[in-house]
Structure 1
């Protein structure tokens, strides 16, 4: 069969068109992949940028942690005791005479100074008796002086001189008794303190007999507590041992005290050894006699160190460290330990009383980490 030249040219033209179309398709696909690759790079770049920004924000987040205020103490077991708080001085004031009350010069709870008048009785008779005794004393002294001059001139005997001297001494004694009787008509405070209690009969117009209770005065400038300890503990306590005192009305506050004295023998009824604890009564505290108290006595054989939570101690690059919260920032402190006992560690270098030692989340902290600290208490309270 004969194929015309025209037919051949048509077939060749169609084949050329097919080849050109296929080439454009390949080029288009490659361009699309390139564009996609560039878009992916851009997306990754944007995503990376966001990640970096997020990382910076995370570093500014404050971590919630717990901490203890460092305090001086001992790893040795403290000796727990309890008792009733009392003033450093307490006295029940009673009358020494009988009479009708004319004035009541105090209020319950009021502070009075030593020598202040509390109650006055009718003292007119005693005042007159004192004036008479003073006059009699003056006369007796004049008689004695006259007898002495006459004795020196030889006109009076030794017996007359002795009699005049005795009369003067008797008049002086009578004057002293009259003065005491007059002063007893006013009941006065024996020392400075506060009126803790008063007799219900202490009212104007009431008749009191000698020995009647007027008031109880308590000096609360310092407080004390008498406690009892067993025979196993008394050998570890001596005068001067530091004490931490906790009073029922102020459970969250510890008052530093000292052992004032230790009894030389046991109480025959309880079998315990008496120990007197004493501490200063801060003005803001206003501690009162009669409150319940608990105390921890540091043993005499205990070394005083800075107590820190054992959970706060960690190791960083071969160093023993703790983290201390300073203005919302965790600061690394290298410390030297004297030992550990249970949840407490004894620090001899690196901490000061009052430092806030972080006790939780320590493994995730770095020097400079932002922290929000919740103070649990004082380190010596850790049990």
Structure 2
């Protein structure tokens, strides 16, 4: 029983000590707040004097070269491969025959379609003759004419399949991969046969941020450097600018490059796009850290009379590196507070740190 009483007394004493510490801390904080409110305590801040300066919009960004066209060529007819005319690495032109499929079954279908068309034509002629003498109705004659049209369409389809027995390249390019061999059977559901790529032109794919994309437009010329051939200069043209940013808030851009230098760039190599712009007129900029919270707040603190912080509403423009353009709300020669704003309110006393 005595032990319990002693323990309770210890808890009460300890609790009283904690309460005393908290009470003292509260009094100290209240005293500090009162001093600051009375203007007796100045907050240390860093400042910067605003002046106009020319800006450099030039920038470079790395990306990856992709082929101008890339095609996984699939079979459209069923049959056995009888001949292959190209190998991996072969250059091909549009319409060139790459392989041939056994057309025996396809030819049979064509012959059947031709025979059906001839029978339908003869039936139509008989119905037309009988219609003149009242032997058949107009509906029966119309059905005979429709049968001729259907038979003619089936013949066209069969003829197309015979032509497709010769597998032809749909693009100019290079056979990057060959998936079939002589004797292999391909089906009409789309057996993969060749991978064709066109690298006569390449697309350098890069990502730029919002301030950079605002200065770009389709058709702009861009200097291109290849990491593998740094001594060679290439010129590209912007052909695509995404209308929407990706998940990282960057905008994908494609730059078309003619691959006609003394060294051929391969798809998948790394490259650098160098964007150059005309010299810009001087503008007012302030450090990005000057804004209260973030740039989107459009609020900053301006130093007045050397010791007072005044909250100012401004209109921010472009973000240029670590600086932000100020379109409205500041004059050249004014001084802004660049750090320490978290401790400030409008009218706070400050002590600039030199």
Q: Which TM-score applies when normalising by structure 2?
A: 0.58
Correspondence for 1:125: 105
Correspondence for 2:76: 96
Q: 1-side partners of 2:253 and 2:122: how far apart?
A: 59
What secondary structure, in the 3-state scheme, does the structure 2 residue paired with 1:165 have?
helix
Q: 2-side partners of 1:191 and 1:174: how far apart?
A: 28
Does residue 234 in structure 1 map to residue 193 in structure 2?
A: no
Q: 2-side partners of 1:231 and 1:173: how far apart?
A: 55
Does residue 157 in structure 1 map to residue 137 in structure 2?
A: yes
Correspondence for 1:217: 196
**Alpha-carbon contact 1:258-1:277 (below 8 Å) kept:** yes
Shift, 1:150, TM fit: 4.9
Shift, 1:112, TM fit: 1.0
Q: 2-side partners of 1:283 and 1:161: how far apart?
A: 67
Q: 2-side partners of 1:248 and 1:146: how far apart?
A: 76
Greater Rg over alpha carbons, structure? 1
1:271 to 228, 245, 249: 249
What secondary structure, in the 3-state scheme, does the structure 1 residue paired with 2:246 have?
coil
Mapping for residues 69-148 of structure 1, pairs under 5 Å: 76-148=56-128
Which sections of structure 1, spanning at least 5 residues, go unmatched?
1-74, 305-383
The 1:144–1:217 alpha-carbon spacing in structure 2 relative to 1, beyond 3 Å, is same
Q: 2-side partners of 1:183 and 1:271: how far apart?
A: 49
Correspondence for 1:348: none
Correspondence for 1:190: 170
Shift, 1:76, TM fit: 4.0
What secondary structure, in the 3-state scheme, does the structure 2 residue paired with 1:77 have?
coil
Q: 2-side partners of 1:197 and 1:205: how far apart?
A: 18
The 1:88–1:303 alpha-carbon spacing in structure 2 relative to 1, beyond 3 Å, is farther
Mapping for residues 329-368 of structure 1, pairs under 5 Å: none
Correspondence for 2:271: 293
Shift, 1:166, TM fit: 1.6
What secondary structure, in the 3-state scheme, does the structure 2 residue paired with 1:285 have?
coil
Q: 1-side partners of 2:198 and 2:99: how far apart?
A: 19
Correspondence for 1:250: 229
1:349-379 per-residue CA deviation (whole Å, 9 max, x = no partner) reads xxxxxxxxxxxxxxxxxxxxxxxxxxxxxxx
Shift, 1:104, TM fit: 1.1
2:155 to 161, 170, 175: 175
What secondary structure, in the 3-state scheme, does the structure 2 residue paired with 1:250 have?
coil
Q: 2-side partners of 1:76 and 1:147: how far apart?
A: 84
1:255-307 per-residue CA deviation (whole Å, 9 max, x = no partner) reads 01111121111124x432111101222163333222221111234xx369xxx
Q: 2-side partners of 1:237 and 1:167: how far apart?
A: 59
Shift, 1:241, TM fit: 1.5
Q: 2-side partners of 1:235 and 1:107: how far apart?
A: 46
Shift, 1:197, TM fit: 2.1
Shift, 1:148, TM fit: 4.0
Correspondence for 1:284: 262
Shift, 1:179, TM fit: 2.6
The 1:262–1:139 alpha-carbon spacing in structure 2 relative to 1, beyond 3 Å, is same
